Structure 1
């Protein structure tokens, strides 16, 4: 609370006037909001609501250009942004939620009930206090969530107090810009760049992958001859691997890969199937592929075999956790003759074997609530 009042005095000195805050929230309002959310506010944020119930219509929002929400709004937010991101035409089966830094501080999810969003940028992104932290995090830590963070939240500070202190320290250093009535504070509170998460290469080697950093989680590589480069990226969760040959995929079995995209001459799924984290598989290959190893994958929910000849297509009927399937019309015709297919949420059917063009999504015609015709 002392920090907050000092912060307000500093901004008033810079702006040459003090903007008026709304009345404080009552103890009854706070208790009612916490009961409705089913989550208690961290003590520092709760104390700030005892000073003001949000920042009203300030020209300069208090939390790093993000408007501080009143209690009445934090428990009743529109999450259409998340519904849109998960619609089928955006191919959510190719998307992975990544870990933030520091590792295991924030749970890997686009949104959780324990994340109380308290400040909004009007563009679909929020600051939230995390009351359901990961094993290396702490309750009340501040994270960024929203439409720009569907690949995972970003850790910003260990508490609202620390977040506020960094704003104060930036003002005291003179790290701000003031123009007319507007104040921009350069407190280094922007989410860290995502560069550390992604590694791509035209001809990967162990040394090249090592230079990308130890926390790489998204890898897209072409011209692969040897998968030994995976030794340098132990945290990879999304892997797209392309080769004109048939590289040994054994190293994949020891990686926490959730999304696997293969474009190879011959695909042996035995090693990848040893990975119990595998969720989604896309296979493009010239030689016939056997799906039988996938029966050992406990959480497989998406399978794309439209660009692969398959020797044992009936194996699909044994993948009872499958929700999404992408096939050719001929493959679907064959599958439609089988009994006990999984309760699929969606089937994507190509008239013929598709020509894969990088990672561009397919331009689907979507038909709801009707089983696809095998004709």
Structure 2
């Protein structure tokens, strides 16, 4: 199976009763074949697992278990630091998606993941990064999600990665929307995109009932 978050060639037609979708695979990986049946595990962020060679194989041989199309000792492409003990534990050449959230320790340095060849997505809960400017060293990022303060640091330093295809602002707590909108518009301007339209409405609601 291909190591993707989804594919138009994965045609889901059923489930296993536990939230996992069963699909026909029309876009197999190099070791697979068209028509194999796969399971899309609802607890996984990427990839699928092989269930049967075909629908006939599933019915005739009553296949019920499945296995992932990677070695059990191969590190995952997605890492959530909230469930790991350290950033060092997530740093390996196959890492593609790094999520830092639910971290109660000291803010983290991104030094352990600098230079990883396949890292393309970073999401970091506000306040979890020791130095947001270290993001500039992650030259292959395609998606970046940060808190408003972290984005402010990057914008003021002119260090927003130009490799990005998409970005998100993670807001927690009671924050006024206008400064957040200003940050979003600055990001849009870097790619010559139209700004978010702001409309001011004035009026009198009358006396309280």
With the shorter chain as reference, the TM-score category is 0.5 to 0.7
User: Who is 1:261 aligned against?
Assistant: 100
Given the two structures, how large is their TM-score scaled by the length of structure 2? 0.59
Cα shift at 1:283: 4.4
Cα deviation, residue 289, structure 1: 1.6
Q: CA deviation at 1:302?
A: 2.6
What is the TM-score when the length of structure 1 is the normalising length? Answer: 0.37
Distance 1:132 1:287 in 2: 38
Q: Distance in 1 between matches of 2:123 and 2:11?
A: 34
CA gap 1:343/1:303 in 2 versus in 1, 3 angstroms: farther
- Do the aligned partners of residues 290 and 324 (structure 1) sit closer, same or farther apart at CA in structure 2, a change above 3 Å counting? closer
Asked whether the equivalents of residues 292 and 315 of structure 1 are also in contact (C-alpha less than 8 Å), the reply is no
1:171-186 equivalences in 2 (<5 Å): none
Q: Deviations over 1:313-356 (max 9, x none)?
A: 43576334232122575874874795834579xxxxxxxxxxxx
1:214 paired to 2:73: yes
Name the residue aligned to 2:52. 157
Question: In the alignment, what sits opposite 1:141?
Answer: 36
Whole-angstrom distance in 1 between the partners of 2:21 and 2:151: 45
Q: 1:236 to 1:109 in 2, by over 3 A?
A: closer
What is the alpha-carbon distance in structure 1 between the residues aligned to residue 156 and residue 38 of structure 2? 45
Per mean C-alpha deviation after superposition, the further-off stretch among 295-304 and 321-330 is: 321-330
Residue 325 of structure 1 corresponds to 169
Give distance in 1, aligned partners of 2:152 and 2:131. Answer: 5
Structure 1: give runs of 5+ residues left out of the alignment. 1-105, 168-187, 198-212, 216-233, 345-368
Which consecutive unaligned segments of at least 5 residues does structure 2 have?
201-209
Cα offset, 1:282, TM superposition: 0.4
The structure whose Rg is larger is 1
Q: CA contact under 8 A between 1:257 and 1:278: conserved in structure 2?
A: yes
- 1:120 and 2:20 aligned: no
Counterpart CA distance in 1 for 2:66 and 2:143 is: 31
Q: Tell me how large the CA RMSD over aligned residues is.
A: 4.6
**Is the Cα–Cα contact under 8 Å of residues 152 and 183 in structure 2 kept in the other structure?**
no
Q: CA deviation at 1:308?
A: 6.1
| Counterpart Cα distance in 1 of 2:109 and 2:16 | 48
Figure out how many residues of one structure are paired with residues of the other and give that number. Answer: 184
Q: CA deviation at 1:260?
A: 2.5
- Residue equivalent to 1:277: 119
**Contact 2:126/2:170 (<8 A) preserved:** no
1:1-375 pair list within 5 angstroms: 106-117=1-12, 119-120=13-14, 127-145=22-40, 148=42, 151=45, 152-167=47-62, 188-191=63-66, 214-215=73-74, 234-241=75-82, 249=88, 252=91, 254-261=93-100, 263=103, 264-275=105-116, 276-285=118-127, 288-294=130-136, 296-306=138-148, 311-315=153-157, 318-320=160-162, 321=164, 322-327=166-171, 329=175, 332=180, 335=183, 338=186, 340-341=189-190, 370=197
Contact 2:107 2:127 in 1 (8 A): yes
What is the deviation of 1:261?
Answer: 0.6
1:207-241 CA distances to partner (integer Å, 9 max, x unpaired)?
A: xxxxxx625xxxxxxxxxxxxxxxxxx33522214
Separation of aligned partners in 1, 2:100 and 2:20: 30
Displacement of 1:297 in angstroms is 2.9
Q: Structure 1 or 2: larger helix share?
A: 1
Provide the C-alpha distance between the structure 2 equivalents of 1:236 and 1:144, rounded to a whole number of angstroms. 18
